[in-house]
Amino acid sequence: MNTGTMTNNERLRALVEASGLTQAVALTVFNRGLGPAAYSESAWKAFLVSPDSSRFRPLKDELLAHAEKQFGKVTRTRLDIGVHVHQ
């Protein structure tokens, strides 16, 4: 995967897929540390839909950085307990 040419939304989709989590659980992981700024299921799905969709919402750089940090914790935890993440 060449992350240099991926949009923020594509990178988020790749993180969710690599985590092996359902979208609902992935949203919970993403919302960790956001407090009252946490995202609704509808807003979350807007980050994951095709850019051609009327529901599409671009993911800001700072939210991608947050997602990479949170999903990195999940991936490390899953690997530490012997669960292999399929990429």
Q: Is 75 exposed, middle or buried (0-12, 13-18, 19+ CB in 10 A)?
A: middle
Cα–Cα nearest to 69, from 11, 20, 23, 24? 11
Confidence category of residue 85, pLDDT binned at 50, 70, 90:
very low
CB 9 within 8 A of CB 47: yes
Encoded tokens for 27: 């949203």
Average pLDDT over residues 10-39: 95
Alpha-carbon distance of 17 to 43, in angstroms, equals 18
Q: What is the pTM of this model?
A: 0.80
pLDDT tens digit sequence for 25-83: 999 999 999 999 999 999 999 999 999 999 999 999 999 999 999 998 886 555 444 54
Give the model's pLDDT for residue 73: 84
